């Protein structure tokens, strides 16, 4: 029984540790993906992977202008950075 409870607690806390931010923006307010990517590239980012996260934010994996590897979440409406890992 104790092992079962420990497994449940670990599963819940483990998944929360990897969760990104949540964006509560209606999709009709989102910046177009192409416009967002162009804006990021102008700022010097090299985007290797672009996706919409489970929390409905824009998420990129790639490199910043200094060549440092990045994983960043953005507000899909404004393009504001929300979280960097």
**For the segment 29-40, what is each residue's pLDDT rounded down to a tens digit?**
999 999 999 999
72 assigned to some structural domain: yes
CA neighbours closer than 13 Å in the CB half-sphere of residue 3 = 0
Domain, as residue range, for 31: 25-82
Q: pTM of the entire structure?
A: 0.77
How large is the greatest C-alpha to C-alpha distance in the chain, in angstroms?
Answer: 55
Report how many domains make up the chain: 1
Asked if residue 59 belongs to a domain, the reply is: yes
Euclidean distance between CA atoms 71 and 35, whole angstroms? 19
The residues facing 52 across adjacent strands are 58
What's the confidence (pLDDT) of residue 19?
A: 79
Q: Is residue 54 part of a domain?
A: yes
pLDDT of res. 24: 95
**What pLDDT band is residue 18 in, cutting at 50, 70 and 90?**
low
Instruction: Copy the structure tokens of residue 76.
Output: 């899909």
Q: Is residue 35 part of a domain?
A: yes
């Amino acid at each position: 029984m104790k092992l079962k409870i420990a497994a449940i607690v670990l599963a819940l806390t483990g998944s929360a540790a990897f969760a990104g931010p949540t964006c509560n923006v209606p999709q009709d307010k989102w910046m177009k993906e192409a416009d967002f990517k162009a804006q990021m590239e102008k700022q010097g980012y090299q985007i290797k992977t672009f996706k919409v996260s489970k929390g409905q934010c824009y998420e990129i994996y790639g490199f910043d202008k200094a060549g440092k590897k990045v994983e960043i979440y953005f507000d899909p409406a404004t393009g504001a950075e929300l979280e960097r890992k």
